[in-house]
Copies of this chain bind each other. A is one copy, B any other.
Amino acid sequence: MILEIADIRIQAGRQAEFEDAIRHGIATVLSTSKGFIGARVQHGIESPERYVLMIEWATLEDHTEGFRGSPLFTAWRAIVGPFFDGPPNVEHFVAV
């Protein structure tokens, strides 16, 4: 199992809209991708425009090849991308 951590900055003042959008995107798009195990969204206290999205995937390739190479990625970015203030910082991790 692999953890994707996406560090996201959104445009100021759009928190409520973004939270609705990301919930919708997870429920209708992300969670339908092969190898998706679960997702959590965390909202910054010190940095109110910062969100951390953590997604568990069965394998690294389920994210980097399966999801990113599918039409689901385009659908996902159409839902959440309009709120981004720059590209998210995305890396993958394994539990210690």
Contacts and interface: CB of A to CB of B under 8 A. Distances in A.
A3 B23 CA distance: 19
A51 B96 contact: yes
B45 A96 contact: no
Interface string A11-43: 000000001001100000000000000001111
A5 interface: yes
Interface stretch (A68-76, A77-85, A86-94): A86-94
B45 A2 contact: yes
A65 interface: no
A42 B91 CA distance: 11
A51 B43 CA distance: 20
